[in-house]
Structure formats: C-alpha cells, structure tokens
A = this chain, B = another copy of it.
Amino acid sequence: MNNDSQLSNIDQTGLFDFKIVAQDGNARAGEFTTPHGVLQTPVFAPVGTQATVKAITPAQLEELSATLVLSNTYHLFLRPGDERVARMGGLHEFMQWHKPMLTDSGGFQVFSLSNMRKVDEDGVTFKSHIDGSMKRLTPESSIQIQENLGADIIMAFDECSDPNNRSYVEQAMERTHRWAQGCLDAKKRDDQALFGIVQGGIFDDLREQSARAISAMGFPGHAIGGLSVGETKAEMYHSIEVVNEVLPANKPRYLMGVGTPEDLIEGVLRGIDIFDCVLPTRLARHNSAMTMSGRLNMMNATFAEDRRPIDEQCTCYTCRTFTRAYLRHLIVAKEMLAATLLSIHNLHTLLQLARDLRQAIFEGHLQAFADEAMAKLNIPRTPER
C-alpha cells in the first residue's frame, strides 16, 4: 500500500527524515528528524496558540521534556501578523522555542472561530474575531503566512465541514484536495515539511478516497483532519483505521486536535505518530487535573486539607512539590499560579503517556499497556477491526 519504497528520507532536501525504529501491531515508534531536532514518536504537541503555551514559560516546557510545539496560523496572521513575526526572526526566535514547531493552516480556525465566513473555490473570506475586519485566507496565502512564521512542519489549507453531512463533506473534501495541490505549488521554503490533510467526515468511502488522493500528491507526511469535532469515539477510531490502511506507512501520521489519554492510546494502536490538543492547558485553566485514572476537579471541597499531590505516581514539578490542598487554595483565591501548576501537570500527563506508549511499542506489549491504562481510566477499549 506504500507509494514510497524508502523507509526514511521523506523529502528531497535531506533536512527531514522519518525512521520507524520499532513496531507493535499497527503501532510504530519513530524518529522524525526536522531542522530543529529529532522527534521521538509517538509524540504529543502542546499548543501555543498565540506563540505561547498559555501560562507556561519555554523553560517550564523544556523541563517537561516537550519537543514539538504547535502554534496557530489563524491567530498569528491576525495578531501580531506573520510579517511581523518574520521580521522578528520567525516563530522559533519570537517565542524562544528552539525545538521543532508545527503550524496549522488556519483552515480549522476559520471554520470554528470566525463569523461571516464565505467559502469560494479559491479560499475563504471571514471576519476577524479580534477587530471585526474582513480577512481572507487561500491555499497560497496560508503557505505564505506559514513560510513567514517558519515552523518546521506546516499544514495544507483545508476546508473543515460538519462530519455528518455527506454532500457538504464530499464537496469540502474535493476542494481540500484541489487546495492541497495549490499549497504544494505555492510552497517555496525547503526547510519546512508540508503535510497534506485527509478529510471525508465519517464516511468510509470518502475517507479512503481522500487518503488516496492526498497520498498520491507526494507529501512528506500526512494528517487526519476533521475528527474529534462531533462524531462518536467509535466513528473516530474507525476513520483512523480506514485512513491509515491507505496512507503510506513510511511517512509520519498526524491526528489533528486530538489529546485525551484514551484517544492517544487508541490512536497510537492504529498507527498515529503525532497528536496535538489544547485540552491539557484549557482544562488547567478550568481547574481540572488530567490523570491516568481520570479527571479531578481541583476546586472540590474534599481537597481542602488533602496533603497528597494530584497524582502520587506523577513526577511533574507540580506533583513533586504541592499538595491538593494548596492547589485548591490557589483556585479558590483566584491565583494565576493555579493555571500554571495545573498546565504543567496536565501537559506532563500527556507527554509522559506518549513516552510510555513509545516504550511499550519497543517492549512489544502495547496491547497489554493499553488494556491496563484504559481499565484504570475506566473507559472501555474500542477493539481494532
């Protein structure tokens, strides 16, 4: 099913390389070389929407052993502007993150955040959520913006649609394919890997068709878009299987916007290499701690004098240092430090899970790891087909 016979060397520049170093069923452990370092996959990418992972310094991210950080083209295009970021030396330099970075294309945000959007064959016109001004993104301008930002991995501009409405999904998918080619044609920088995005909603035939069309274009890596947006978990996991059967195995696979512990586990089992999600930092700002045995609302009065850390197994700075009682106090007292400490903990949970999944692949017992972890999370496994 591969349209590329080489196992590494995913592009012509030699700057990018993807090597599968261990396999367990459909799951893979890889080494994805980028101009800013090697990603050990599976990897979870914290999201730094506005060129900052909210409430966290780059030094704290380093301490978490984070590697890949995602930032949002839509937000940076609007503020402070991609040309300004370019004049400041690019995104790595601007936000002082010197490890690999990924920018999305703006497609998803245009459809989820802006009002009054109008899609035409060449792009999308929309109203800025910041100042109400009219803006436009096209495959060509999205690439131009992402070249100005300068992330290592950039994404094709795609149209996201309600995953259940077949005629719209089909139309959006076909446009996404034409735009993917437009992105490839527009790309000028050699030091960025452009990933194609598979769409197709919850329809197997469309997902398969999209995976074939995108695979055929020769992208160095592929993403699965349009999931985790309203479909059931079973539908999402099934779609991943359908797509990954088509996508070339020797190139990295990125499941966009997905980041619960259970989705990382089920995704890795189905051959996903890269994940990103705002969930850990967003939940942190809403007082929720993610653990491998479920979420804790840290404002809960039962924690008022609880001297345990959030998670006795966890090795993050927050759990090594502070009690639940203190964290609850910070939340009740509306102290900013609560968001910082919970963000550190939640990010650690997902970063460590990705590392543990990688280790389980090396050791060849991923199924047992997954069964045990899902049982602890108290979530039924969704068996692979």
Contacts and interface: CB of A to CB of B under 8 A. Distances in A.
A326 interface: yes
A249 interface: no
Contacts of A84: 304-305, 325
A219 to B, nearest CB: 31
Nearest to A85: B329
A54 B50 CA distance: 22
Q: How large is the interface on A (under 10, 10 to 19, 20 to 34, 35 or more residues)?
A: 35 or more
Interface string A38-74: 0000000000001110111111000000000000000
Contact of A329 (B80, B87, B323): B80
A213 interface: no
A340 interface: yes
Contact of A305 (B58, B88, B317, B325): B88
Contacts of A56: 337
Nearest to A285: B336
A94 B305 CA distance: 10
A79 B336 contact: no
A97 to B, nearest CB: 11
B339 A50 contact: no
Nearest to A326: B94
Contact of A96 (B321, B336, B340): B321
A329 B57 contact: no
Contacts of A55: 336-337, 340
A333 interface: yes
Interface string A297-333: 0000000110100000000010001110110011011
Contacts of A54: 335-337
A136 B52 CA distance: 45
A321 B88 contact: no
A377 interface: no
A101 interface: no
A20 interface: no
B335 A79 contact: no
28 contacts: A50-B329, A50-B333, A51-B326, A52-B330, A52-B333, A54-B335, A54-B336, A55-B340, A56-B337, A57-B340, A57-B341, A58-B321, A59-B317, A59-B321, A75-B333, A79-B332, A80-B304, A80-B333, A84-B304, A84-B305, A84-B325, A88-B305, A88-B326, A89-B307, A94-B329, A96-B326, A336-B340, A340-B340
Interface of A: 50-52, 54-59, 75, 79-80, 84, 87-89, 94-96, 304-305, 307, 317, 321-323, 325-326, 329-330, 332-333, 335-337, 339-341
